[in-house]
Copies of this chain bind each other. A is one copy, B any other.
Amino acid sequence: MLIEDFNVRFCETDALAHVSNTVLVDWFEMAREPIFRIFTPELDLQNWPLILAGYKVDFLDQMHYGHPVQVRTYISRIGGSSFDTYQELWQNGTKRATGTTTMVQYNYAEKKSVVINDEIREKLTEHAIPRGVNV
């Protein structure tokens, strides 16, 4: 599991005085940075090795400004060239949202997916969801 702690930004709230639903994908992307580094340790933008295939976010409870939030990131699936992250957003001891994102190892120049090798597969597996975490 990877942990990312931070504060809600004022501009991330909306007129309902809670966190805008649109912000969750920003937060989840930010919290995947250690996953990006498994594929490109230097975060090399010229040879970026990943493309996003889709995401799904479920909202369980509202989130508010003024209280720290935490994203917990797990790897929930590893396929041939793609994998899923499962992420939870916690605030004040309550799970407020969950997200599953599918990413593909990808060669932008050749416009094709790339098989995940064993070394990367092993590093991803270190963040696999343990038994007892309900996805």
Contact = CB atoms under 8 A, between A and B. Distances in A.
Interface of A: 6-7, 9-11, 13-18, 20-23, 25-26, 29-30, 33, 36, 42-43, 45, 48, 51-59, 62, 65-66, 108
Interface of A is mostly: mixed
State the copy count for this chain. 4
A77 B87 CA distance: 27
A30 to B, nearest CB: 5
A14 B14 CA distance: 4
A109 B130 CA distance: 38
Contacts of A53: 58-59
A79 to B, nearest CB: 16
